[in-house]
Amino acid sequence: MQKIVIIGSGPAGLSAGIALGRSGFSSTIISGEKIGGQIIDAVKVDNCPGFKIGSTGKEIVDDLLNHVKTFNVNFINSNVISVDFKKYPFEIILKNGNTLSAEAVIVATGKTQNQLLIPNSEKYLGYGLSYCATCDGPFFKNQDVCVVGGGDNAVKSAMFLSDIAKNIHIFVRGRSMRASFENQQLLKTRKNIYIHFFTEIKKINGEKYIENIDIIEEGIEKNMKINGIFVMIGSVPNTEIFENILTLDEQKYIITDNMCRTNINGVFAAGDVQAKVFKQFPIAVGNGTTAAMAALAFLK
């Protein structure tokens, strides 16, 4: 029997563990196969209050881990394959064959970005290739960047970048954008945003950082000077095991109230897995702390 089980070990999950530890509660964090979540791959981070500007994601995760380990927190290096929230205490079945019982559960499983399928693109992750404009956009002041995608997130990213970068090129694979009419009209208000239809990136070039890219635009091969690529082709929340159990939105993110409570009393959600929240480190930290405090209130 565990008092509180945290599923996920990204910033939200680790922050929840810290908040619980400070309150004198022991908790169990099911870390999965990769402790730290998506931020651990960040080469440079400057949106984390209290952390040194320019810290790497690994340095930030190491600091969080060192902090949480000062408290009575148990880590289980496994994945969750199913949950039973209909019975109480709740049951959590692990991939390693074990089953945990918990009086409260915090879901902090995050999301998985749809990847840019270009040979060797992964080597530029953090060196010009990004999956978050609000996180990494400020690093590209007065530089030329592109946004890959034609949905509402691509438009929002381009609009955000238009106040920072010199030129923003939106690459749309088809003949039209999927973004709403209102959002597409917004693009026309910015003179430094250019839309390229029937366009795909074929190769990324650069010694260490991205310097230029090879593209095919309407069947014609071109080379373009680009310093940053922002991939906005969607993401998938890691909520498969919670479908038909927790209330999810249309994109399968977990719907919570302002106390991170789900539709099941005693089950909370925090971080990128939540619906209608910005996906950034400080927000995940705050929501992880909120979920922990709400879980404590539930138990008391």
- The domains located in the chain, with CATH, are 2-112+235-299 (3.50.50.60), 115-231 (3.50.50.60)
Closest CA to 65 of 17, 135, 3, 4: 17
What integer pLDDT is reported at residue 69 of this predicted model? 93
pLDDT top residue among 82 and 152: 82
In the predicted structure, residue 9 carries a pLDDT above the cut 90: yes
Residue 269 in contact with residue 254, Cβ under 8 Å?
A: yes
* Cα–Cα dist 160/167, whole Å: 12
In the predicted structure, residue 207 carries a pLDDT above the cut 80: yes
Task: Give 195's contacts (C-beta < 8 A, 6+ positions apart).
Answer: 169, 170, 172, 177, 187
What integer pLDDT is reported at residue 238 of this predicted model? 95
What integer pLDDT is reported at residue 46 of this predicted model? 80
pLDDT top residue among 265 and 279: 265
Token output for 36: 């730290």
pLDDT in tens, 132-185: 898 899 999 999 999 999 998 899 999 999 999 999 999 999 999 999 898 999
In the predicted structure, residue 215 carries a pLDDT above the cut 90: yes
* Cα–Cα dist 212/209, whole Å: 9
From its phi and psi, is residue 163 left (phi > 0), alpha (psi between -120 and 50) or beta?
alpha
Q: What is the mean pLDDT of the chain?
A: 93
Residue 249 in contact with residue 276, Cβ under 8 Å?
A: yes
What integer pLDDT is reported at residue 237 of this predicted model? 94
> For the residues 213-229, what does the mean pLDDT come to?
97
Task: Give 226's contacts (C-beta < 8 A, 6+ positions apart).
Answer: 144, 145, 146, 169, 210, 211, 212, 213
What integer pLDDT is reported at residue 139 of this predicted model? 94
In the predicted structure, residue 208 carries a pLDDT above the cut 80: yes
User: For the whole model, what pTM was predicted?
Assistant: 0.78
In the predicted structure, residue 227 carries a pLDDT above the cut 90: yes
CB atoms under 10 Å from CB of 69, counted, come to: 14
Token output for 69: 């380990």
pLDDT top residue among 92 and 112: 92
User: What 3 state SS string does the chain have?
Assistant: CEEEEEECCCHHHHHHHHHHHHCCCCEEEECCCCCCCHHHHCCCECCCCCCCCCECHHHHHHHHHHHHCCCCEEEECCCEEEEECCCCCEEEEECCCCEEEEEEEEECCCEEECCCCCCCHHHHECCCEECCHHHHHHHHCCCEEEEECCCHHHHHHHHHHCCCCCEEEEECCCCCCCCCHHHHHHHCCCCCEEEECCEEEEEEECCCCCCEEEEEECCEEEEEECCEEEECCCEEECCHHHCCCCCECCCCCECCCCCCECCCCCEEECHHHECCCCCCHHHHHHHHHHHHHHHHHHHC
What integer pLDDT is reported at residue 37 of this predicted model? 85
What integer pLDDT is reported at residue 56 of this predicted model? 84
pLDDT top residue among 182 and 54: 182
Token output for 94: 């692990």
